[in-house]
Structure 1
Amino acid sequence: MEPFIKLPESKEEKSDHWMSSRYTIQSKEEDGSLYLSNTYSGAFINVPPKHVTSVKNILKNGYDGELEGLPKILAHRGFIVKETTNELFRARMLHEIAGRKNDTLQLIFLVTEQCNFRCTYCYEKFEKGKMTKEVRESIKKYVRNKARFLKYLNIHWFGGEPLIAMDVIEELSLEFKKVCEEFDITYTASVTTNGYNLSPTNVKKLIEYNVSYFQVTVDGDHEHHDRTRHLAGGQSTFEKIWKNLLAMKETNEKFLCRIRVNFLKENLPDVPNFIDKIKENFSEDDRFAVNFFPVGQWGGPNDEELNVLTERDATKSALSLCDLAVDKGLNNVLDDILKPGGYVCYAAKPNSFVIGSDGMIYKCTVALYNEKNHIGTLQPDGTMDLDMDKFALWVMNDEGEDPGCQKCFFRPSCQGSACPLVRIETGEAPCPPEKKYIKQVVRVVGREKKRQLEKSKVKS
């Protein structure tokens, strides 16, 4: 639970007045301990019950004097700051510097815009096919042109269903690895897949191509999953996906696989039973994590027929399921949203682009048919012809001018960019839905960290 950003220790601490950081979040645990999280420093600690009263007193009333003991711990992790600290300026600086790195490039590829599934809540139209040879050559030129400026290249394989275009993934991966080795660039990759073609052979290939992160959606056990995530011909898919996940577990490869469970009102009551199934098979393997995502009306042809939950009920249900999963010994991915920039949408980042199979450039993978999301095209010479006015809609967000964002405890995490699409369509910066239940988020994260710490002690 060390801080994401370590604050430097000075040899001589001055006798200043220290006060609670505006970005410090407190959440009390049932055993009387206290979790502290700070969205600017990224620090997260668990305060034992015997120290809670003292810590809460410091956070409430401030502290004067030399830093030692508890005050020193709180100060060096950013939970308390000097009274003269301009935290609003620091948050703005975080946005300007950390959020706009020119040495980092993220590319999300729709390697094919076809899919072997027809999920009931899908928003894609499947009008385009596999990425053309011309587009692939343009991508290679683009990455090579950018390479001399880069330290980090992150690739995400998307679709459609990317694994029905493994040849495209292989061709581009080999080129990216070659360029990154030549220019000493750190290369990472991830994939979002329905898991149907996630065979042991494909898993091995993907890992060889630097894919270290997998996301596979399984909507509960076969009864519910096969109802919402079936093949284009209506055939079931659960058993094959589950078999592929179990085969992944049997390998010695290093990866993180997130099992995403989408839920509607229909399958929500049975998700706890499915958590037991995941626990039985994956709780002892730290390479697997689980999260829960409410289905929304995302623009698909079946939107009116979907029995979706309200945002309030959806968020509360997702957090309750995360809490249950952690209690069952499973990993989750909630802790990222408590870190600096952890809730900034990829579409809001100037160095992130989605490239379609025909060379069209987008910012968002959801609003594929929104004209404001068609920000340009990839040219044969490897350059991007961008509509800068459309591009600016997605990336030009100054949360420092928004009165709601300006003093918000969540500002360093979301920076007013939780969903630029909502801001574009409504004119208002949307708050992350978890913000209203932030104490519960902190408790879930704290419980997981406690369990991981206890597990590591047992192993050692």
Structure 2
Amino acid sequence: MTGEPSSFDEQLTASVRADRLQLILLPTEQCNFRCTYCYEDFAIGRMAPEVVSGVKKLIDRRADGLSHLQLSWFGGEPTLARSIIEDIASHVLRAQERCKGLRYHSDMTTNGYLLDGPVAEHFARLGIRRYQVSLDGPAEHHDRTRLRADGKGTFERIWSNLLSIRASPADVHVMLRIHLTPENIPVMADFLRLVRDTLLVDPRFTVFLKRVVRLGGPNDPAMEVLESDDPRIAALVSLVAEGGAEERLYEPEEVCYAARANSLLVRADGRLGKCTVALSDPANTIGQLLPDGRVRIDNAQLRPWLQGWESRDPELTGCPYVAFTSPQPRLVQITNRRSELQTPT
């Protein structure tokens, strides 16, 4: 084969490079929210001390050979375990001082309830500079679906925190994941104008319009969802882009992190996985992190997550989990599931 490598080949190379490592860390699997469409069971608490030690020792084992380390914080709600985040992130900064060629980036998926401007500034000093925060529309809709564990609403606090970040000098980027449902879509035009004119004027903010889908939660049977080709979604995308804000729209990556060999999910109990959506699926447990930083991988469990590279199937590298969830060899609308499973709710 001659000529320049194809995009697929370049992505394949990037996914197996030994000098790059992504660790998706769950410092706690508890949450202060009980969103109506959530798929998590909150059966596990804070990351055990031996797992924290194992993460740090894994980083130490790998640091000399890495050109790039990415820590992605997930949960539960990661900010409930702030001390663990600070411990591990500080450890990485010390490792970076020893390994001058090591580039380090960090991001967080958070409900935003405990993330205001001062916290964002503090985390930025620890290298955490990219966030995903979800909103379900204006308060009267958001507070029906993104509830605190005690049943109270969350919109006012989150919106206040976003304004606090906007007013701060924090060197961060916030991707607003705005959920679309049959119930809230009639009011979304006005809400998105507010978001566009209030937050998107700051280049540190972008928007990802995402329809809520069924991801295995207990309320799935009663949920009504929008079809992926609903023309109202496209109209809202156009609305956000008005006034030069098109660059503030987020586009999901073509390759899912779960398809990358150099990406590992580390759960609070030390189990290793690939996908942040399939937390309760036994197929998602591919090994164990040991307290000394070594990883024990079950290759038979890992192989299906990587099969898209072997088959050169960009649909399976876009979402490897469909190989487990589809009753047929292929899903008819597999492309539509990519962004649903790539970026956690």
The question of a shared fold, defined as TM-score above 0.5 by the shorter chain, is answered with: yes
Matches within 5 A, 1:35-184: 90-184=6-100
Equivalent residue number for residue 272 of structure 1:
189
- Paired with 2:337 and 2:85, the residues of 1 have a C-alpha distance of 35
Is the CA contact (8 Å cut-off) linking 2:104 and 2:127 kept in structure 1?
Answer: yes
Secondary structure of the residue aligned to 2:114 is coil
Matches within 5 A, 1:258-337: 258-313=175-230, 316-330=231-245, 336=251
Gaps of 5+ in 1: 1-83, 406-413, 436-460
Secondary structure of the residue aligned to 1:417 is helix
Gaps of 5+ in 2: 339-345
- Tell me the CA shift for residue 417 of structure 1: 1.0
Is the CA contact (8 Å cut-off) linking 1:152 and 1:187 kept in structure 2?
Answer: yes
* TM-score, normalised via structure 1 length: 0.69
Deviation string 1:327-385 (CA, Å, 9 cap, x unpaired) is 14435566755xxxx31000000000111111111100000011110111111111111
Alignment counterpart, residue 325 of structure 2, candidates 415, 421, 425:
425
Identity %: 36
Q: How many residues align?
A: 334
Secondary structure of the residue aligned to 2:121 is helix
Aligned alpha-carbon RMSD (Å):
2.2
Is the CA contact (8 Å cut-off) linking 1:286 and 1:331 kept in structure 2?
Answer: no
Deviation string 1:289-335 (CA, Å, 9 cap, x unpaired) is 1111111111111111111123333xx54443222101144355667
* TM-score, normalised via structure 2 length: 0.90
1:398 and 2:309 equivalent?
Answer: yes
- Paired with 1:434 and 1:324, the residues of 2 have a C-alpha distance of 24
Equivalent residue number for residue 27 of structure 1:
none
Q: 1:319 to 1:104 in 2, by over 3 A?
A: farther
Higher relative contact order (Cα pairs below 8 Å, separated by 6+ residues): 2
- Tell me the CA shift for residue 100 of structure 1: 2.0
Alignment counterpart, residue 128 of structure 2, candidates 192, 211, 224:
211
Larger of the two Rg values belongs to structure: 1
Equivalent residue number for residue 155 of structure 2:
238
Matched residue type, 2:322 = V
Alignment counterpart, residue 141 of structure 2, candidates 206, 219, 224:
224
- Tell me the CA shift for residue 202 of structure 1: 1.6
Alignment counterpart, residue 354 of structure 1, candidates 265, 280, 285:
265
Is the CA contact (8 Å cut-off) linking 1:290 and 1:330 kept in structure 2?
Answer: no
- Paired with 2:234 and 2:158, the residues of 1 have a C-alpha distance of 25
- Paired with 1:279 and 1:306, the residues of 2 have a C-alpha distance of 28
Deviation string 1:379-417 (CA, Å, 9 cap, x unpaired) is 111111111111111013236x46xx5xxxxxxxx5641
